[in-house]
Protein backbone atom coordinates (compact mmCIF):
# COMPACT_ATOMS: atom_id res chain seq x y z
CA UNK A 1 0.00 0.00 0.00
CA UNK A 2 1.27 3.44 -0.95
CA UNK A 3 2.87 5.58 1.76
CA UNK A 4 4.28 8.27 -0.51
CA UNK A 5 2.45 11.15 1.18
CA UNK A 6 1.13 11.76 4.68
CA UNK A 7 -2.48 10.93 3.73
CA UNK A 8 -1.62 7.28 4.32
CA UNK A 9 -1.61 8.05 8.06
CA UNK A 10 -5.33 8.82 8.21
CA UNK A 11 -6.90 6.76 5.43
CA UNK A 12 -8.77 3.51 6.00
CA UNK A 13 -8.39 2.36 2.41
CA UNK A 14 -6.67 3.86 -0.61
CA UNK A 15 -9.27 4.38 -3.33
CA UNK A 16 -8.02 3.57 -6.80
CA UNK A 17 -9.97 4.46 -9.93
CA UNK A 18 -12.79 2.18 -10.94
CA UNK A 19 -14.72 1.34 -14.08
CA UNK A 20 -13.94 0.51 -17.66
CA UNK A 21 -12.70 2.23 -20.78
CA UNK A 22 -15.60 1.16 -23.06
CA UNK A 23 -16.56 4.79 -23.73
CA UNK A 24 -12.95 5.99 -23.73
CA UNK A 25 -13.98 8.58 -21.15
CA UNK A 26 -12.53 9.18 -17.70
CA UNK A 27 -14.06 11.31 -14.95
CA UNK A 28 -11.72 12.84 -12.39
CA UNK A 29 -12.87 14.22 -9.02
CA UNK A 30 -10.87 15.67 -6.13
CA UNK A 31 -10.42 13.06 -3.38
CA UNK A 32 -12.25 10.20 -1.68
CA UNK A 33 -14.77 11.09 1.03
CA UNK A 34 -15.85 9.14 4.10
CA UNK A 35 -17.87 6.42 2.30
CA UNK A 36 -15.19 5.96 -0.34
CA UNK A 37 -12.51 5.69 2.35
CA UNK A 38 -14.55 2.99 4.11
CA UNK A 39 -15.32 0.97 0.96
CA UNK A 40 -12.23 1.60 -1.17
CA UNK A 41 -14.37 2.58 -4.17
CA UNK A 42 -14.71 6.06 -5.72
CA UNK A 43 -17.97 8.04 -5.79
CA UNK A 44 -20.17 5.80 -3.64
CA UNK A 45 -21.27 8.42 -1.07
CA UNK A 46 -23.67 11.37 -1.42
CA UNK A 47 -21.76 12.96 -4.31
CA UNK A 48 -21.57 9.55 -5.99
CA UNK A 49 -25.34 9.15 -5.78
CA UNK A 50 -25.81 12.55 -7.41
CA UNK A 51 -23.35 11.56 -10.13
CA UNK A 52 -25.13 8.21 -10.66
CA UNK A 53 -28.47 9.98 -10.99
CA UNK A 54 -27.13 12.51 -13.49
CA UNK A 55 -25.42 9.82 -15.55
CA UNK A 56 -28.64 7.78 -15.60
CA UNK A 57 -30.82 10.69 -16.66
CA UNK A 58 -28.41 11.74 -19.40
CA UNK A 59 -28.12 8.23 -20.84
CA UNK A 60 -24.55 7.51 -19.79
CA UNK A 61 -23.84 4.08 -18.32
CA UNK A 62 -21.47 4.45 -15.34
CA UNK A 63 -20.04 0.97 -15.88
CA UNK A 64 -18.71 2.11 -19.26
CA UNK A 65 -16.75 5.00 -17.76
CA UNK A 66 -13.62 5.07 -15.67
CA UNK A 67 -13.91 7.21 -12.53
CA UNK A 68 -11.03 8.33 -10.38
CA UNK A 69 -9.72 11.17 -8.19
CA UNK A 70 -6.72 13.48 -8.11
CA UNK A 71 -5.59 11.95 -4.80
CA UNK A 72 -6.39 8.35 -3.92
CA UNK A 73 -6.57 8.72 -0.12
CA UNK A 74 -9.10 10.72 1.90
CA UNK A 75 -7.77 13.98 3.36
CA UNK A 76 -8.73 14.37 7.05
CA UNK A 77 -12.18 15.97 7.52
CA UNK A 78 -12.54 16.13 3.72
CA UNK A 79 -10.21 19.13 3.49
CA UNK A 80 -8.80 20.04 0.09
CA UNK A 81 -5.70 18.03 -0.78
CA UNK A 82 -2.46 19.99 -0.32
CA UNK A 83 -0.23 20.68 -3.32
CA UNK A 84 2.41 18.32 -1.97
CA UNK A 85 -0.20 15.52 -1.78
CA UNK A 86 -1.47 16.28 -5.28
CA UNK A 87 2.09 16.16 -6.61
CA UNK A 88 2.85 12.93 -4.74
CA UNK A 89 -0.24 11.18 -6.09
CA UNK A 90 0.07 12.47 -9.63
CA UNK A 91 2.06 9.40 -10.67
CA UNK A 92 -1.04 7.23 -10.27
CA UNK A 93 -3.26 9.54 -12.31
CA UNK A 94 -0.58 9.75 -15.00
CA UNK A 95 -0.49 5.96 -15.10
CA UNK A 96 -4.29 5.71 -15.35
CA UNK A 97 -4.29 8.14 -18.27
CA UNK A 98 -1.36 6.39 -19.97
CA UNK A 99 -3.00 2.94 -19.71
CA UNK A 100 -6.59 3.91 -20.57
CA UNK A 101 -5.78 6.57 -23.17
CA UNK A 102 -9.17 8.25 -22.69
CA UNK A 103 -10.51 10.18 -25.66
CA UNK A 104 -12.07 12.60 -23.21
CA UNK A 105 -11.18 13.43 -19.61
CA UNK A 106 -13.96 14.93 -17.49
CA UNK A 107 -12.61 17.34 -14.88
CA UNK A 108 -15.12 17.63 -12.06
CA UNK A 109 -14.36 20.71 -9.98
CA UNK A 110 -11.55 23.21 -9.54
CA UNK A 111 -8.97 20.82 -8.08
CA UNK A 112 -9.20 18.46 -11.06
CA UNK A 113 -9.16 21.45 -13.43
CA UNK A 114 -6.15 23.17 -11.89
CA UNK A 115 -4.20 19.91 -11.59
CA UNK A 116 -4.63 18.79 -15.19
CA UNK A 117 -5.01 22.08 -17.06
CA UNK A 118 -3.58 24.63 -14.64
CA UNK A 119 -4.61 28.20 -13.99
CA UNK A 120 -7.82 29.70 -12.71
CA UNK A 121 -10.04 29.30 -15.74
CA UNK A 122 -12.48 26.83 -14.20
CA UNK A 123 -15.49 29.18 -14.08
CA UNK A 124 -15.08 30.45 -17.62
CA UNK A 125 -14.45 26.93 -18.99
CA UNK A 126 -17.20 25.07 -17.11
CA UNK A 127 -19.67 23.39 -19.42
CA UNK A 128 -17.20 23.33 -22.31
CA UNK A 129 -15.18 20.65 -24.01
CA UNK A 130 -11.66 21.92 -24.59
CA UNK A 131 -8.94 20.53 -26.82
CA UNK A 132 -5.50 21.01 -25.25
CA UNK A 133 -2.33 19.43 -26.66
CA UNK A 134 -4.33 16.75 -28.45
CA UNK A 135 -6.41 15.77 -25.41
CA UNK A 136 -10.11 16.60 -24.99
CA UNK A 137 -11.26 17.80 -21.58
CA UNK A 138 -14.86 18.13 -20.41
CA UNK A 139 -15.17 20.71 -17.62
CA UNK A 140 -17.93 20.55 -15.04
CA UNK A 141 -18.73 21.00 -11.36
CA UNK A 142 -17.82 18.43 -8.75
CA UNK A 143 -21.07 16.57 -7.90
CA UNK A 144 -20.51 17.34 -4.18
CA UNK A 145 -21.19 20.99 -5.00
CA UNK A 146 -24.75 19.99 -5.91
CA UNK A 147 -25.59 18.37 -2.57
CA UNK A 148 -27.27 21.54 -1.28
CA UNK A 149 -27.53 23.49 -4.52
CA UNK A 150 -30.25 22.67 -7.04
CA UNK A 151 -28.90 25.19 -9.55
CA UNK A 152 -25.58 23.36 -9.70
CA UNK A 153 -27.41 20.04 -10.04
CA UNK A 154 -29.24 21.41 -13.08
CA UNK A 155 -25.97 22.74 -14.51
CA UNK A 156 -24.43 19.29 -14.06
CA UNK A 157 -27.35 17.77 -15.94
CA UNK A 158 -26.88 20.22 -18.82
CA UNK A 159 -23.10 19.61 -18.89
CA UNK A 160 -23.43 15.82 -18.85
CA UNK A 161 -26.02 15.96 -21.63
CA UNK A 162 -23.35 17.71 -23.68
CA UNK A 163 -20.90 14.93 -22.77
CA UNK A 164 -23.45 12.30 -23.83
CA UNK A 165 -23.70 13.97 -27.26
CA UNK A 166 -19.91 14.12 -27.49
CA UNK A 167 -19.73 10.39 -26.71
CA UNK A 168 -22.32 9.66 -29.42
CA UNK A 169 -24.94 8.47 -26.92
CA UNK A 170 -27.63 10.93 -28.04
S1 LIG B 1 -2.76 10.06 -1.58
FE2 LIG B 1 -1.70 9.02 -3.26
S3 LIG B 1 0.50 9.40 -2.89
FE4 LIG B 1 -0.60 9.82 -0.97
S5 LIG B 1 -0.49 7.88 0.17
FE6 LIG B 1 -2.45 7.91 -0.98
S7 LIG B 1 -2.00 6.81 -2.89
FE8 LIG B 1 -0.03 7.40 -1.98
Per residue in 76-103, pLDDT tens? 999 999 999 999 999 999 999 999 999 9
* pTM of the predicted model as reported, rounded to 2 decimal places: 0.97
Q: Does any domain span residue 94? A: yes
Q: Which pLDDT score, from 0 to 100, does residue 170 have?
A: 84
Q: Does any domain span residue 1? A: no
Q: Does any domain span residue 17? A: yes
- Dist. CA 50 → ligand 1 center (Å): 26
| Domain encompassing residue 54 | 6-166
- Is a pLDDT exceeding 90 seen at residue 105? yes
Q: Does any domain span residue 46? A: yes
CB 4 less than 6 A from any atom of ligand 1: yes
Q: Does any domain span residue 54? A: yes
CB 72 less than 6 A from any atom of ligand 1: yes
For atom 3 of ligand 1, the residue with the nearest CA is 89
CB 88 less than 6 A from any atom of ligand 1: yes
Q: What is the CATH number for 64?
A: 3.40.470.10
Distance CA 154, CA 41 (A): 26
Neighbours of 158 (CB within 10 A): 12
Q: Residue 73: pLDDT band by 50, 70, 90 thresholds?
A: very high
Count of domains in the chain?
1
Percent of the chain with pLDDT over 70: 100
Per residue in 135-149, pLDDT tens? 999 999 999 999 999
Amino acid sequence: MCRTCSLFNTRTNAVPGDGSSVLKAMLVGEAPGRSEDQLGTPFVGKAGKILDNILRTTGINRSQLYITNIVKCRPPHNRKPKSIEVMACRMYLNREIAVLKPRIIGLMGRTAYSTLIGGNGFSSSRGQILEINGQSYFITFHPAAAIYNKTIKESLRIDFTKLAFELGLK
